[in-house]
Amino acid sequence: MTFDDAHWDERYREAELLWSAAPNLFVADRLADVPAGRALDLAAGEGRNAIWLAKEGWTVTAVDFSAVAVERGRNLAERREIRLVWVEDDVTRWDPDGELFDLVLIAYLHLGPEVVESLVQQSWSWLAPGGRLFLVGHAKQNLKEGYGGPPDLERLWDPDELVALVPGEPSVVEAEVVERPVVTEEETATALDAVVHLVKGEDP
Ligand SMILES: C[S@@+](CC[C@H](N)C(=O)[O-])C[C@H]1O[C@@H](n2cnc3c(N)ncnc32)[C@H](O)[C@@H]1O
């Protein structure tokens, strides 16, 4: 089951900040040394990753269909005087109108397999030569062995299956299931995430 923008608006309204102010662990760790360029964050939520990228010097476009999340992200960025472009739209319909990016990031967007396939392929086509596709989300193993995440297997990610969706022969920097510590009020649990980091060849 996937959810519409009204569902996500409701979830965001229920919390002052639904996700963290800090970027995702793997985004910050794996992309810290990548030279800044043009970045696209699809399903950016409140912008924890988009804002971090912009702070690192990237020129960032952040897209999400939740008006509440986009408004919150815009306010958070403005308060810190960080500039980025916010787009309130459905990532399955939006397209960048010919603009190319050096990084496309998709973090914890768990849609059905057909949608993921076309989104990954479109994202790849929006990369400039040498650009990177960085995907991080709940891994299939998380269903039985990890903390949190969607409760249905078909929306969870397998790193090799994601790599196989990309046309041509991408250079694979990372395609792994990795552990992410999650600190709750009761415990420190472990979530299992799929991390996929691919680089597009320089040849057209
Ligand atoms: C789990 S949150 C992750 C947010 C962000 N990527 C992060 O890591 O903090 C999933 C986000 O996907 C957005 N979303 C889900 N389906 C979408 C769609 N079809 N188009 C745009 N945004 C979508 C939701 O509004 C929500 O902000």
Q: What are 117-166's pLDDT values in tens digits?
A: 999 999 999 999 999 999 999 999 999 999 999 999 999 999 999 999 99
Residue found under tokens 């912008």: 47
Residue-wise pLDDT for 59-100, tens only, equals 999 999 999 999 999 999 999 999 999 999 999 999 999 999
DSSP-derived 3-state class of residue 36: coil
Q: Kindly tell me the sign of the dihedral angle through the C-alpha atoms of 7, 10, 12, 18.
A: negative
Please indicate, yes or no, if residue 204 is contained in any of the structural domains. no
Q: 203 CA to middle of ligand 1, Å?
A: 32
The values of phi and psi at residue 202, to 5°, are: -75, -25
From 14, 19, 31, 64, the mutation candidate for ligand 1 (largest count of ligand atoms within 8 A of CB) is 64
pLDDT at 169: 87
pLDDT at 152: 93
pLDDT at 131: 98
Please indicate, yes or no, if residue 146 is contained in any of the structural domains. yes
Q: 12 CA to middle of ligand 1, Å?
A: 11
Per-residue CA distances from 37 to 8, 90, 103 (Å): 30, 24, 8
Q: 95 CA to middle of ligand 1, Å?
A: 16
From 109, 118, 136, the mutation candidate for ligand 1 (largest count of ligand atoms within 8 A of CB) is 109
pTM summary value:
0.96
- For residue 77, give its domain range: 5-199
Residue found under tokens 């996937």: 2
Q: 43 CA to middle of ligand 1, Å?
A: 4
Residue-wise pLDDT for 1-46, tens only, equals 678 888 999 999 988 888 877 999 999 999 999 999 999 999 999 9
Q: How confident is the model at residue 203 (pLDDT cuts 50, 70, 90)?
A: low
Please indicate, yes or no, if residue 195 is contained in any of the structural domains. yes
Q: Is the pLDDT of residue 204 over 80?
A: no
For 94, which DSSP code? -
For 81, which DSSP code? T
Q: How buried is 93 (Cβ within 10 angstroms: 0-12 exposed, 13-18 middle, 19+ buried)?
A: exposed
pLDDT at 165: 97
pLDDT at 51: 98
For ligand 1, say whether the CB of 48 is within 6 Å of any of its atoms.
Answer: yes
How many domains does the chain divide into?
1
Q: Kindly tell me the sign of the dihedral angle through the C-alpha atoms of 59, 62, 63, 67.
A: negative
For ligand 1, say whether the CB of 94 is within 6 Å of any of its atoms.
Answer: no
Instruction: Say which CATH number the domain at 159 has.
Output: 3.40.50.150
CA distance 154 to 137: 13
